[in-house]
Structure 1
Amino acid sequence: MTSRRTGRRTRRRVAGALAGVVLGPGLLAACSGDPVEEYCAEVEDQRQPLSDVADAGGPTALLEALPAFEELQGASPTDLRDDWDVVVGRLTALDDALAQAGVDPATYDAEEQADDLGEDDRTAVESAARQLATPEMVRALEAVQQQARDVCGTSLTL
């Protein structure tokens, strides 16, 4: 003789199994709220736009990638958030410094035009640009690329 409690547990397990079969694993995964799955979906969404920016190359490639990086930062799991904060924060600082100085990143040449800027603007732009070449920035870029390859199975061209 089965108790009522055992009967309810059995019905719940059967209902759960049927929901899995009826709804399908894709729908259940989409509803699971798994941060890694959500991040990997965003990595896949941003892969082509980042590849296009990288293929175009040029000195403004990282700034042109900033919107994609912001999307990835927003979707990133907590263990990767610090790295994305470094990448997005430093690129945003440079973008802001250039905008404040009234400089078009696509045409700005620091060697020829730096003297045309006011001292505060020149210092801000130069400081922000130097922050893109620090070991911390390089490590953060490498970490987000490694995570995309290892966890998501997708290469990001940065």
Structure 2
Amino acid sequence: MSGPRAGLVASSLAVVLAGALAGCSEDRVEAYCEVVAEEQSALVEAAEDAEGGGTGTLLAAYDSLERMADAAPGDVAADWDEVVLRVGALRDALADAGVDPATYDPEEPPEGLGADEREAVTAAAVDLVEPTTLRAVQRVEQQVLDVCGAPLGL
């Protein structure tokens, strides 16, 4: 097929595909917002357990963060990946060191904590508050607020 008819068919296919992709995108965003809504109570509970927020909230809410990251649309997926990676690294470093995140004090580490374990925890904590990670957290929070109308409170 060539000529004007081929152009019309190609244009029609482009319109149909664009509509189908937009529908998929809308469905993905809707599903994402549903996951965010489902995880809101877990985030509030994590903040309460961590006595007000910060790193403790992120650690307590790790499973919820993972579920939201898995559901995230493409425009914010890399930011979610950064957040989950950094929180997970700190969680793992604390677990590997056998340290309770709620009571760990880097100024007074528990007796018996080895230098390597302390260094791993410190490195993971520093990575979590790096500007790149903090910007990712801000973008995630803003995107959830803009798209889902819900504050995360990370």
Structure 1 or 2: more helix by fraction: 1
Please state if 1:80 is matched with 2:73.
no
Contiguous gaps of at least 5 residues in structure 2: 1-22
Distance 1:66 1:44 in 2: 16
Q: How many residues align?
A: 129
Q: Output one character per residue of 1:67-101: Cα deviation in whole Å (capped at 9) or x when no partner.
A: 11011011011111111111100011011111111
The structure number with the bigger radius of gyration is: 1
In the alignment, structure 1 residue 34 sits paired with structure 2 residue 30: no
Shift of 1:54: 2.1
Cα separation, 1, equivalents of 2:140 and 2:41: 16
Question: Counterparts in 2 of 1:1-158, with a 5 A limit?
Answer: 34-58=27-51, 60-113=56-109, 116-158=112-154
**Where does structure 1 lack aligned partners over 5 or more consecutive residues?**
1-28
Counterpart Cα distance in 1 of 2:39 and 2:132? 23
Contact in 2 for aligned 1:42/1:71 (Cα 8 Å): yes
Any conservation in 2 of the 1:114–1:122 contact (CA below 8 Å)? no
Identity score, percent: 47
Letter in 1 for 2:126: R
Q: Runs ≥4 in structure 1, deviation > 4 angstroms?
A: none
TM-score by length of 1: 0.74
TM (norm. structure 2) is 0.76
